[in-house]
Amino acid sequence: MNYVLKDRYPEEVFRYFEEISAIPRGSGNEKGIADYLCAFASEKGLRFVRDALHNVAIFKAASAGRENEPAVMLQGHTDMVCEKNGDTVHDFEKDGIKLILGEDGWLRADGTTLGGDDGFAVATMLAILSDDSLSHPALECLFTVQEETGLGGASEFDYSVLSARKIINLDTEDEGTAVASCAGSMNLTFTLQADTVPFAGNILKLSLLGLSGGHSGTDIDKGRANSIRLMGRVLNMLYRKQPFNLISLSGGNKRNAIPRECEAIISVQDAEGAIVYARELVGQIRAEMSSSDAGLHLKTGKAPKPETMFTYKDTSRVLSFLALIPNGVIAMSNSKEGLVETSSNLGVVRTEGNKIDFSVYARSSVEPSMDYTLCMMERVEKVTGLQMTFEDRAPGWAFNPKSELQKQFVQCYEALYGKEGKVEAIHAGLECGIILEKMGGDAIAIGPDMRDIHTPDERLNLDSVRRLYRLVVKMLAE
């Protein structure tokens, strides 16, 4: 393959990042990257375990003189969020990521998500496993799957094959900061099998475009607009002025990403009047937007005429759901200033025939607050008549004030770079909560500088990758 980074960034961690970037690895499509990892382990003579989900654990014996020390786990996930710009031609099932190295030292992709989340972890573990000159205790490198769609790989892995009780997770995006606590999460789907009537009226397609999107954990408090909710606002206001029949609604790609685009197809009596009013509404909404969403715009057009459309009653049910479903920040933490405690993200909507599905991802660092969020969701189900399916729930990760890894991180970072490392809690979900629940022990999560993850603007600072790689090596050595 043609390496983009090798001239300016010759270290092995970058070579491995380029190699895995060539492998399609969206959530649920991790077989190819698992094949690669197992082939790597076989080539290096390392023991490995692979399960039916394509989680992979690779083991390396301790370096000379350190055989009696407890094992350490390095951990990250192999899957990535697959988002692309509307005009980008890319098949995430087949195509590798096209990397673009900027003169500023930031790595980007060509119109798609980059996969630095969590390709950095995969590349870092591979580089450490391949370097026999390093000093370290026994290593257990765990590569999990389906993290981006609900932490499924970490939940299902058989931890009886592992022994490490010190865990370094490599799945954060701020260099110099170790995460030591995170939110739990739950996945919910709301479904309506709508009653329909024969199509009549004038067909109209409304598309909201140009929003910035973002991560539903780390970006949920930044005021970024949710395209599905905004479409709900436009449609609800339009329905008050001119009742219509819904034909389809679609938007978002991942439940844990703030959706950037949404499309509604409806049947109206006065299409021109509806367009004028919808444009007026979007103009009003744009004036309320933060600068990051200044690109919001409405596109209108026609669509092929269907045979049927939702009844007024079931159109109204969908609109009620869009108006009532909890979305965004629900509560801020009273114990840590600026930390989101509880949130919900309406991430995806899809219509197939007369069936419409909404995917919701909720988070909280406080279990009773998560319980009440579930209660609110259940009340929405009761009021709207949509059927709620509770899919899974992952535990949060409580802060450990006696953590040895926290202290070691702070000391090693300052020794290397002359700056004090910080220890923080985050609202995003990490696999540490599940792993610690299964195994016990001590954990931190670290990573290089990444920005705009889960969007096509995702970028990774490569000098920061170098520094974080050296930090991990130093922590293992000490």
The token duo for 159 is 């931890």
Rounded to two decimals, what is the model's pTM?
A: 0.73
d(CA 23, CA 124): 17
At CB < 8 A and 24+ separation, what contacts does 94-98 make? 94/24, 95/24, 96/21, 96/22, 96/23, 96/24, 97/21, 97/22
- What pLDDT shows up at residue 150? 77
- The residue from 79, 140, 175, 449 that is catalytic is 79
- What pLDDT shows up at residue 363? 94
- What pLDDT shows up at residue 169? 98
Do the Cβ atoms of 323 and 236 come closer than 8 Å? yes
d(CA 173, CA 166): 21
Show Cβ contacts of residue 147 under 8 Å, excluding neighbours closer than 6 positions. 27, 77, 79, 118, 153, 154, 171, 431
- The residue from 18, 147, 148, 458 that is catalytic is 147
Secondary element (H or E) of residue 308:
strand 308-310
Do the Cβ atoms of 98 and 456 come closer than 8 Å? no
| DSSP letter string, 214-274 | EETTTTTTTTPPPHHHHHHHHHHHHHHHS--EEEEEEE-S-TTEE---EEEEEEES-HHHH
Q: Taking the chain, what is the end-to-end CA distance rounded to the nearest angstrom?
A: 36
Is 147 one of the catalytic residues? Answer: yes
Q: Any idea which residue has 């991430």 for tokens?
A: 347
- What pLDDT shows up at residue 470? 98
Which of 76, 49, 220, 48 minimizes the C-alpha distance to 148?
Answer: 76
| Distance from chain centroid for Cα 98 | 20
Amino acid letter, residue 199: F
d(CA 250, CA 318): 12
Q: Provide block-wise average pLDDT over 10 residues at a time, the chain (478 residues).
A: 87 97 97 98 98 98 97 98 93 97 96 96 98 98 93 94 97 95 93 98 97 92 96 98 97 92 98 97 93 94 96 98 98 86 97 97 92 97 97 86 95 96 89 93 97 93 98 97
- What pLDDT shows up at residue 398? 82
